[in-house]
Amino acid sequence: VARIEKIMALGNLELRQDLFNSRNRLVPFRMGLLAFADVGRVWVDGRDEHFWHSALGGGLFLSPFNMVI
């Protein structure tokens, strides 16, 4: 039985910018923009790959009742 050894490395960066902050008593919330970047690599015995996988993304966030998102 072959045993697979692997080591992983990853990183994440996330940026948020509030656009609107509602302070009404019924439903307080925050809304804003979100941008992120991810990068990672896996080292597996027997494979000789030398590249990192990366991804970028963004969107809107909504935080009802000003809870942590």
Q: Is the dihedral of CA 60, 62, 68, 69 positive or negative?
A: negative
Tokens of residue 65, six digits: 């009742």
First CA to last CA across the chain, in angstroms? Answer: 44
Q: What is the pLDDT of residue 1?
A: 55
pLDDT in tens, 3-39: 667 888 999 999 999 999 988 888 899 999 999 999 9
CB-based contact 31:20 (threshold 8 Å):
yes
- The mean pLDDT of 45-61, rounded to a whole number, is 90
Residue type, 50: H
- The mean pLDDT of 28-56, rounded to a whole number, is 91
Give pTM, 2 decimals.
0.66
